Structure 1
Amino acid sequence: MPSADPIPASPALRDKAPSPTHPDRLRVNRSPKAFGSGAYSLVDLPAGALFATITGTTPGHKAYTSVQTGRDTHIELNSDLVYCNHSCAPSLVFDMARMEVRVVDEKPLKAGDALTFFYPSTEWEMDQPFQCTCGANACRGWISGAKTMSAEELDGYWLNGHIVQLRNERK
């Protein structure tokens, strides 16, 4: 399944071909096309398994390259994980409280699978919303963060604690 418009790599990762940060776990397909690069699994893992720990981050601000970690906090991944694109049928979960990337609970990960996560699971309000083209049966269409999604649209997705808290405050 093709992934939706990904968060592109930060300029440091995009403009150079740095040494891979997870050479045993993923390969990056770089594309000169804007938002065309992506990450693909090199390993088979069972549903729910740990894919990678998130290390080497730096504090950031809301930007298309950052990941939200709390109500008002963001990080830059500074790793090949930045190439994990969005999908409405994701293969991974980015757990920002544990600083882990795990395989979704619903299905195992196979070598060659696109590495994707559901951006609203970490992002309350995205810096650069986009029209999703992931092709999933339950594609959510316009992706702008969890803030603009109904409880029904978010049902069934694993969500970070800060997203759950912000959603509950909205009620």
Structure 2
Amino acid sequence: STGEIPAWVKPDLSRLLRVEKNPGSFASRSVSLVNLPAGSIFARITNPTPATVAYSSVQASRDLHIELNCDLVYINHSCKPSLVFDMQRWELRVGGQDLKEGDELTFFYPSTEWHMAQPFECLCGNEECRGRITGAKDMDGGVLGEYWLNGHIEELLEEKR
């Protein structure tokens, strides 16, 4: 132990991630400044406000969307995500593989989003790339079964069956 309070307690996001903005473009990304094992807590969601569905909002439950109000908003989608947004615990955890300093921070948007405010063509470039991302509502159940999903998404999928 370094004798410091862990960065996720405050949370001091400047110790956890670096936002890289591309001048003259809407493209931005978040990069990890830490090494953490799979499954460990990366950060807690500490300053959310209720919101309407928007490109920047996160669906926290069946009927609640939030704005994160911090640099976590720069975490992009990937079909092979490095993080999980667990909205029941209000925390971000490292996904199935260890997180290394310099890794891009990403999560699988349909793990929180039933219907995307702004669907988009995924450009993650992974073998597992799912193409057009519109939210969990429109995705194949078998594909979704390969991902960690929030409880509200699981419930909505069950109702759809």
TM-score, with normalisation over the residues of structure 1? 0.86
Q: 1:70 aligns with which of 54, 61, 80?
A: 61
CA contact 1:26–1:41 (8 Å) conserved in 2? yes
What secondary structure, in the 3-state scheme, does the structure 2 residue paired with 1:102 have? Answer: strand
Q: Which residue of 1 aligns with 2:84?
A: 93
Is residue 159 of structure 1 aligned with residue 159 of structure 2?
no
Q: Deviations over 1:49-84 (max 9, x none)?
A: 100001111110110010001112100000110000
Q: 2:15 aligns with which of 24, 28, 42?
A: 24
In the superposition, relative to structure 1, how do residues 23 and 165 fare at CA in structure 2: closer, same or farther (>3 Å)? Answer: same
Higher relative contact order, chain-length normalized (CA < 8 Å, sep 6+): 1
Q: Which residue of 2 aligns with 1:42?
A: 33
Q: Which residue of 2 aligns with 1:58?
A: 49
Which residues of structure 1 form unaligned runs of 5+? 1-19
1:25 partner amino acid? L
Q: Distance in 2 between matches of 1:153 and 1:92?
A: 18
1:152 partner amino acid? G
CA contact 1:21–1:80 (8 Å) conserved in 2? no
Greater Cα radius of gyration, structure 1 or 2? 2
Q: Distance in 2 between matches of 1:113 and 1:138?
A: 18
The offset of 1:111, in angstroms, is 0.2
Which residues of structure 2 form unaligned runs of 5+? 1-10
The offset of 1:160, in angstroms, is 0.4
TM-score, with normalisation over the residues of structure 2? 0.91
CA contact 1:84–1:117 (8 Å) conserved in 2? yes
Which stretches of structure 1, 4 residues or more, deviate above 2 A after TM superposition? Answer: 32-35
CA RMSD in angstroms comes to 1.2
Is residue 113 of structure 1 aligned with residue 129 of structure 2?
no
CA contact 1:21–1:79 (8 Å) conserved in 2? no
Identity of aligned residues (%): 60
What secondary structure, in the 3-state scheme, does the structure 2 residue paired with 1:159 have? Answer: coil
The offset of 1:35, in angstroms, is 3.4
Q: Which residue of 2 aligns with 1:9?
A: none
The offset of 1:153, in angstroms, is 1.4
Q: Which residue of 1 aligns with 2:160?
A: 170
The offset of 1:21, in angstroms, is 5.3
Q: Which residue of 1 aligns with 2:71?
A: 80
